[in-house]
Every structure is written in C-alpha cells, then in structure tokens.
C-alpha cells in the first residue's frame, strides 16, 4: 500500500521516499540488495502489504509509512493576552 514501482530502463534501482506533497525525502540504492532484503526494508519502513490487490487496508496504515500529522499540541501556558503561543521545534518539519 502506498508503494509504486516504476521501471526505468538503464537506471540503477533505488527506493525514492516522498512526502505526501511528493517532495523527495530520501533515496535508498537497491542494486546490492536481494529481493528478501528489499521486502524486509520496505516492511521496516512501515509499508503495509495487502494479502490481495483488492484487500482493504487497515485504518492505521492508510497513510503509512508517512509519519502522522501533529493534531494535538501539548498544553502550553497562555500569554498575558490569553492566547496560547504556537511552538514548534525548529528541527521538526510541520508536514511530516
């Protein structure tokens, strides 16, 4: 689920991980890996393997392997004007 295979003649095989906005996150070369190693890698990355092509995908895997979007932020003390400031870690990307 959420994995697409594209054969590009003459190109070295690689796994390209994209964000939900189709921005490239990482490239993993696959040339030196066996089929079993690639299957294990994909499973470790959080992809869900359906039993059959038309089998339903459990809800928790619908957007896998993407990291869930932050829905609830931890509670913070309100400022003097009563509003709670939005705080994000500068290392954290809000889309991932």
Structure tokens at 64: 């896998």
Assessment of whether the complete model's pTM goes beyond 0.85: no
CATH domain 1-69 topology = Glutaredoxin (3.40.30)
Predicted confidence band of residue 41 (pLDDT cuts 50, 70, 90): very high
Mean pLDDT of the chain: 77
How far, in Å, CA of 64 to CA of 67, rounded? 7
Nearest CA to 50 out of 36, 64, 37 is that of 64
**Contact in structure between 54 and 45 (CB atoms under 8 Å):** no
How far, in Å, CA of 10 to CA of 35, rounded? 19
Domain boundaries, the chain: 1-69
Query: Is the confidence at residue 88, as pLDDT, over 60?
Result: no
In degrees, rounded to 5, the angle at the alpha carbon of residue 50 between the alpha carbons of residues 46 and 55 is 140
Helix (H, G, I), strand (E, B) or coil at 24: strand
In degrees, rounded to 5, the angle at the alpha carbon of residue 69 between the alpha carbons of residues 90 and 20 is 100
């Amino acid at each position: 689920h959420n994995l697409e295979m594209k054969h590009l003649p003459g190109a070295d095989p690689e796994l390209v991980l994209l964000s939900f906005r189709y921005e490239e996150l990482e490239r993993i070369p696959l040339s030196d890996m066996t089929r079993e190693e690639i299957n294990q890698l994909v499973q470790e990355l959080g992809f869900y393997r359906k039993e059959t092509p038309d089998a339903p995908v459990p809800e928790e895997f619908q957007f896998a392997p993407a990291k869930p979007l932050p829905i609830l932020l931890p509670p913070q003390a309100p400022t003097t004007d009563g509003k709670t400031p939005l705080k994000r870690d500068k290392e954290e990307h809000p889309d991932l």
